[in-house]
Amino acid sequence: MRRQVAGNLAWMLAERGLQVAGGIGIVAMLARGLGPEGFAHFQYAQAVVYIAASVALICGGEVIIPRLVANTDPVSQHRLLIHVFGLRLGAGVLAYLLICAFLLFTGQGLDVWAPTLILGIAVMLREPFGVVTAWMQSRTWTRPNAVFNLTSLAVKAACVGLLFWAGNQDVPAYAAAFSVEAVIAAILLTLYYLARAPHSDVKLDPTLSLELLRSGALFWVSFMMMMGSRRVDQLLLKPLVPLTEFAAYAASMQILDNFVVLATILSAGIAPMYVYAKPSLAQARRNIMKIAGGMLAVGLAGGLAIAACAHWIVELLYGPAFAEAASLLQLAALASTLVFADVALTLLPIYMCRPHLVAIKWALVCAVTIAIDVITIPIFGARGAILGYAVANLLAVLFGAFIWLRQGPAALTRQEASA
């Protein structure tokens, strides 16, 4: 079992390592090709799409992976995946309509409308076709998904590289290059799954759809709040600071986005075997704390390394036009280390099937982030947004630690006695 988990995790880490390298190169070309103002418009468009994409996270992996692990019958799994796909596709279309409504309500100009609508195409593709990824994760077999992701990333990198080489400064053109990645990944995932799916007709069952909707509703809400808390700073920051400062902040956070996703990759690779498959809460709880400690160490090592090399990283990637991003990156990198512990601690309420705890946590985090940003951004600008980011991460970890402590030996004894 350990060899299988290690092999699966190695593939996931290798994929993420290549994605980080490719993503950094792509962002560097994007920033240098568009300049601070064009880059600012592109990043604002990405922030809007990122928040809207949370709407498509209905019935996420936290709901379907445990079900797939518990029931390995291919026909039953196929039936489940078809229903989840339908829910996610409908949510993706709704998310795209919400993007349009936001742009209209806030009176954005064409320089934001065009890239946002193009980038928004991915919202209708990633999560619906991502059911195949969840299916692979439940089988602890992610190598094909890694190959597909790297293939689509390579095409995106090639498109961005061609635009950069040609001296193109058109923001929508770069947005189209980004959307190509989601299209190719969706096609490859579909072809792979259909070649292995059972050849059985699936009748849509409204009862099953409602059950999946109800069981995933709180996770859905929590993810919307989580993703909102991670990008609302950019929506609040852009109208209040010069575009160059906003571009510097977005550039630093773009680097950290590639870094903190490693926490999700580690969690997804470890959780099925070492948490979800454990028969008792006590075993899962012990493993979660070990995972949290290890992931925090990884996050701390990476955050310190990024902070130490911040000036060199910014100069190498973005050039002198983004020099202001170096000091921002140092501060944000140190705050990002807490994300690793938070992702691990979140496994406990997921294991206990208590999504309301996750929803409560992210409701608090989102509210605190907005409150701090509203107060500090007008005073400190981008540094105020980083303060909000740091406090939000700390609050998330403290909440997770509180839940872990509440499920200690005494609590477990009381639960067994009441049962």
- 123's enclosing H/E stretch is none
Residue spans of alpha helices (H) in 139-205: 143-165, 171-194
Domain ranges of the chain: 2-410
Read off the pLDDT band of 419 (50, 70, 90). Answer: very low
Long-range CB pairs of 198-204 (<8 Å, 24+ gap) are: 198/74, 198/75, 198/78, 200/75, 200/78, 202/78, 202/79, 202/82, 202/83, 204/82, 204/83, 204/86
- Please check the confidence at residue 16 and state whether its pLDDT lies above 80: no
- Do the beta carbons of residue 99 and residue 52 sit within 8 Å? yes
Helices (H) and strands (E) in the chain, counts: 17, 0
- Please check the confidence at residue 7 and state whether its pLDDT lies above 70: no
Q: pLDDT by residue (tens digit) across 83-139? A: 999 999 999 999 999 999 999 998 888 889 999 999 999 999 999 999 999 998 888
- Do the beta carbons of residue 249 and residue 237 sit within 8 Å? yes
Q: Percent of the chain scored above 70 by pLDDT?
A: 94
Report residue 383: phi and psi, to 5°: -65, -30
Q: pLDDT by residue (tens digit) across 361-412? A: 999 999 999 999 999 999 999 999 999 999 999 999 999 999 998 886 545 4
Among candidate residues 141, 125, 64, the one with its CA nearest the CA of residue 91: 125
Per-residue pLDDT at 65: 87
Asked which of 40-54, 78-92, 204-218, 326-340 is least confident by mean pLDDT, the reply is 204-218
CA–CA gap between residue 145 and residue 167 (Å, rounded)? 33
- Do the beta carbons of residue 102 and residue 162 sit within 8 Å? no
Other beta carbons within 10 angstroms of residue 369's beta carbon come to 26
Per-residue pLDDT at 416: 46
Q: pLDDT by residue (tens digit) across 159-200? A: 999 999 999 999 999 999 999 999 999 999 999 999 988 887
Query: Mean pLDDT, to the nearest integer, of 299-315?
Result: 94
The residues near 6 (Cβ < 8 Å, ≥ 6 apart) are none
